[in-house]
Amino acid sequence: MLRAKIQEIFKEHKGWYGSLRITKVLEKKGIKINRKRVGKLMRQMNLYAKGSRYRHKRYNKKSPSIERPNPLNQVFHTDGRNKMWVGDIIYIPTQKGTLNLAVFVDMYSRKVSGWSMSTRVKDSLVIDAFLQGYKKEHPPTEVIIHTDQGSQYIGSNFQAILKKYDAISSVSRKGNLYDNALMASFYKTIKRKLIHGAKLTASEQTRKEVFKYIELYYNTKKMHSSPH
């Protein structure tokens, strides 16, 4: 009965609810249950919330790790702008599907250097975000670009772009979220400030909201906890 209820709630909310929210919905229905038990049952049923990092961690534990250059190596500070950028892809739910937001954040200023949005996760998504940042910031040669091991980043197209602009690729170790902690922090911020409770509908409205958040608030008004 419990498994059926969890699956029903998961489908009702189109896969966006994780164990915490499903537990709260169950409690409202008068079913008292521990969140850990809900999470365990969800994993047994292979139910993972969209955008959840658990699926990524689980996959990486099963996959053999390929040694890739990681010059950043958890050194989360630098002495100037445009010397290190970190990148990631954020999944934004709307009432008409999911939009993917590729972001590059400057390690020194903590501001977004470049970003791009698309309904599909392709290498062109991260290339567009990098090129936007490059044209806007004009970083010096050998700027370090640090990302996870997503195929969009380690694929030949993105790597060719980095080589063309004399940028250095740095890649997190598989399953180690601490190697890209700044982007994890940005992800939580944008999720809390923009996604939760926003009731985003069409793609165009979502793009406008993301533009306003990044360009008119995050990059101009927000106080950033940079190390300098």
Confidence of residue 211 (pLDDT cuts 50, 70, 90): confident
The reply to whether 202 and 112 lie within a common domain is yes
Sort strands 144-147 and 84-94 into parallel, antiparallel or unpaired: parallel
Query: In the predicted model, what is the mean pLDDT of residues 85-105?
Result: 85
**Alpha carbon distance 105, 24 (integer Å):** 34
Give me the CATH number covering residue 185.
Answer: 3.30.420.10
Confidence of residue 165 (pLDDT cuts 50, 70, 90): very high
The reply to whether 97 and 177 lie within a common domain is yes
Q: Is 75 within a domain? A: no
Q: Is 77 within a domain? A: no
Neighbouring C-beta atoms of residue 138, cutoff 10 Å: 8
Q: Quote the DSSP letter at residue 147.
A: E
**Alpha carbon distance 38, 3 (integer Å):** 9
The reply to whether 106 and 40 lie within a common domain is no
Q: How many domains does the chain have?
A: 2
| Domain residue limits at 141 | 84-218
pTM of the predicted protein model: 0.62
Comparing 42-51, 130-139, 141-150, the range with the smallest average pLDDT is 42-51
Q: Is 124 within a domain? A: yes
What is the three-class DSSP state of 99?
strand
Which pLDDT belongs to residue 224? 54
Q: What are phi and psi of 135, to 5 degrees?
A: -70, -30
Indicate whether 9 pLDDT > 50: yes
**Alpha carbon distance 103, 112 (integer Å):** 7
Q: Is 60 within a domain? A: no
